[in-house]
Structure 1
Amino acid sequence: MMNVVLLEPEIPQNTGNIGRTCCATGTKLHLIEPMGFRINEKSLKRAGMDYWENLDVTIYDSYNDFLEQNPNAKMWYATTKAPKRYTDVEFGTDDFIMFGKESAGIPEEILVDNKEGCIRIPMNPDIRSLNLANSVSIVLYEALRQNDFAGMQMEGELHRLKWM
């Protein structure tokens, strides 16, 4: 099972959308306090729709609490400051991908301590960053693709409509 980690998320709609993506992909969501909203906020649940109740989510008091509870986690840190692209690394089936808060990203001291695990999404140099929910989707789906979308439905079925 893949793992998405949000470090101090600030915008409930982003977290709700990310929660929905996690449900759709069988991914566990890890939320690290402090958050810029309450977990029972309407806008969070509205963005996550009725999927939120099925979400596998754990909330941590702090980054240190997260590290203590996940001591063997293989971590990737999504940041605009990384020298390597998210497509240049090999994701495992149970890796953790961390994203920072919308206003500041992951703190530099965490990035410096984990430089080898830092990855970036290429973008126009005039843009500061992508939306958090979009960034999670981009990187998560690459990780899932590399692992052949394990456990996911791979084909759909079209039904021919009969017109009168």
Structure 2
Amino acid sequence: MNMTHYMGLLADNQPWNLLIFMAAVVILAETIAITELGILFTGSYNGRLRKVNKISSIIAGIYFSGIFVYLMKNAWLPLTLNGGWHGWIDFVAVTFYLLGIVPLLGMALLDMGIVMKNSPERRKMKLHVSFVGLFLIVAHVAMIFGMLDPTLGGGHDMHNM
């Protein structure tokens, strides 16, 4: 079966790659999203939910930064420089996965007090919510394109290489 590098990464070295590159990030992101809803419904920016939200955001941002550096060095740059992409669908899947660094690192920097340190909590939470939404968009684009057969977009058949 033809698959994108995204799906190839998740399928290799089972179950470790799936846990490292997908499950850990998704569990943290879903924890952030669920606690964010609780915070927004209660209006409490200082309770237990916010503490879990903040810790999850910081861990997710730092954790994904490591994944980002590793995959840029060992996958994205070599595939780009050596013409190794299996077409545009493959490129979109991996690139959108890596774009998760923007919202995840953004939330971490926000929750560590590195950005918007002196802003009101409500304003910081608005940005935090925007980062959650952005992460959901890039992660779902990556997953959808990652599950496609790259030959549908004119990519080459990996069986005939």
TM-score range normalised by the length of the shorter chain: under 0.3
**As a proportion of its length, which structure holds more helix?**
2
Q: Which structure's CA Rg is the greater one? A: 2
Q: Which has the higher contact order (CA 8 A, sep 6+)?
A: 2
TM-score (norm. length: structure 2): 0.26
